[in-house]
Amino acid sequence: MNFTAEDVSFSKVTVAFFTVASILISIRIFMKSKQPRPPGPWSLPIVGNLLQLGEYPYISFERMRKKYGDVFQIKLGMVPVVVVNGLDAVKQVLLRDGESFAARPDMHTFSFFADGESLSFSVKYGESWKLQKQIASKALRSLTKSEATSSTCSCLLEEHVCAEALELVKTFVELSKQAGSFDPAASTTCAIANVVCALCFNKRYDHDDEEFQGMLKVNDDFIKASGVFNPADFIPSLRYLPLPAAKAAREFYRKFNNFVAKRVEDHYTTYDKNHLRDITDALISVSNEKREDGKAAALSQQKIIVTVNDIFGAGFATLSVCLQWIFLYLISNPEIQTKIQEEIDAKIGERPSRFKDRKVLHYTEAFLHEIFRHASFLPFTIPHCTTKDATLNGYHIPTKTCIFVNMYQVNHDEA
């Protein structure tokens, strides 16, 4: 067989190219393997460290932190998870290098939220996500500047909060007269949900409204079910099984999305750019504006529904739990309750409180901040995910690594 000089030359060049490429790739892999990875406990096949977490994972993480340091790695099912503790490391993840940790992991539960398009839970981090967030933030700011119909309130937000707070006090007085003692959870949830409904849809519901109560009931079922760990988030093969947590999430978001979608559609038909009634109107207004580059900040009707979903859901579920913790701490510490009442009587008197009163209610303000710290009723942030290779506390964190931020530990750090 005869080879031409050209064939031989080409073959040599090809071999040389692939040889050099292979060497470079091998060196890159070797260098990466030499970068330290976060330490952590041993894990079992398939389930990983799930059995080591117990009923209160944030307490288990605190024990692991004492052994492995502020940044350590575990496996939840088949998914590697880096757990971040300590104020400095948390600031690195959430603030100083926030862009590197800004994404969301591809969790099964997240796909239920607004069909995976949620601003809070979407794995689609990028320019479109940033634009949607900017529009939502601008809409919220514009609403806080909206004038209240009452001359005693500084803005529409304050007016809604004060009105519903007054109704909640009346409800508590009636319940205490009827039974002496009562569970404030249901009334509190209704009050918070009504504030959020007023902000999002400019509408307040009676507490016995059938549609309103139906939505709250579905939300309660969802919270109970989601309080149970969903193993399908970390063991992919389980995503095809009819797990209770997944079923509850799907049912809640189906009804919740329909509830919100109907009201957004109504807003499009009654929208007046000269009279913004609520967050939905503000979102429609901002989405119709032109950006600096002259392009429309196009936020589709579906995106507006998704954004209102996020604001509504984050509003009443979290705040309702927060208020219940406040009640619990006040009941358990009557001396603190007395000091707060004395401060309110001395600084405000008989008139209703307003946002501006925070400047003079120093003890009350300190109490609220301490509730957030000590109760830590949200022990973790929503899980994060790296957008690129990153370094944290000297450890190499590969791209698309799931990140848990342990806020409970930060709030209870003895250092």
Residue 229 has pLDDT above 70, yes or no: no
Q: How much is the pLDDT for 295?
A: 60
For 92-101, 147-156, 400-409, which range has the lowest pLDDT when averaged over its residues? 147-156
**pLDDT tier at 3 (50, 70, 90 boundaries)?**
very low
Secondary structure of residue 82 in the 3-state scheme? strand
pLDDT tens per residue across span 36-50: 999 999 999 988 999
Query: Any residues with CB less than 8 A from the CB of 398 and at least 6 apart, and which?
Result: 386, 389
Q: Where are the beta strands (DSSP E) in 252-341?
A: none
CB atoms within 10 A of CB 411: 16
Q: Which of 259, 174, 177 is nearest to 218 (CA)?
A: 259
32, 83, 89, 405 from 41: Cα distances, Å: 22, 12, 20, 18
DSSP 380: B
Can you give the length of the chain in residues? 415
User: CA quadruple 274, 277, 281, 286: dihedral positive or negative?
Assistant: positive
Q: Which of 412, 310, 325 is nearest to 377 (CA)?
A: 325
For 129-133, 175-179, 303-307, which range has the lowest pLDDT when averaged over its residues? 129-133
Distance of CA 295 to the CA centre of its chain: 30
CB atoms within 10 A of CB 153: 19
Q: How much is the pLDDT for 140?
A: 74
> Is 201:278 a contact under the CB 8 Å cutoff?
yes
For 22-26, 64-68, 183-187, 224-228, which range has the lowest pLDDT when averaged over its residues? 224-228
Angle at 232 between CA 230 and CA 236, to 5 degrees: 165
DSSP 388: S
DSSP 350: T
Supply the mean pLDDT for the chain: 82
> Is 407:84 a contact under the CB 8 Å cutoff?
no
Q: Which of 131, 165, 402, 93 is nearest to 286 (CA)?
A: 131
The span from the CA of 170 to the CA of 165, in Å, is 9
Question: Phi, psi (5° rounding) for residue 83?
Answer: -100, 125
Residue 227 has pLDDT above 60, yes or no: no
Q: Which of 406, 407, 399, 410 is nearest to 80 (CA)?
A: 399
Task: Find tokens 């309130």 and name the residue.
Answer: 153
CB atoms within 10 A of CB 299: 21
The span from the CA of 16 to the CA of 187, in Å, is 75
Say what the pTM is: 0.80
Residue 5 has pLDDT above 70, yes or no: no
Q: How large a percentage of the chain has pLDDT more than 70?
A: 82
Question: Phi, psi (5° rounding) for residue 308?
Answer: -65, -40
65, 70, 98 from 404: Cα distances, Å: 13, 12, 14
The span from the CA of 90 to the CA of 97, in Å, is 10
- Got the DSSP string for 212-239? HHHHHHHHHHHHHHHTS--GGGT-GGGG
- Got the DSSP string for 238-259? GGGS--HHHHHHHHHHHHHHHH
pLDDT tens per residue across span 106-151: 887 777 666 667 777 776 777 777 777 777 777 777 766 777 777 7
CB atoms within 10 A of CB 210: 9
CB burial readout 168-194, b (16+ within 10 A) else e: beebbeebeeeeeeeebebbbbbbbbb
> Is 101:93 a contact under the CB 8 Å cutoff?
yes
The span from the CA of 250 to the CA of 238, in Å, is 16
Q: Where are the beta strands (DSSP E) in 288-360?
A: none
Distance of CA 210 to the CA centre of its chain: 28
DSSP 182: -
User: CA quadruple 246, 81, 377, 102: dihedral positive or negative?
Assistant: negative
pLDDT average, residue stretch 345-349: 94
> Is 156:143 a contact under the CB 8 Å cutoff?
yes
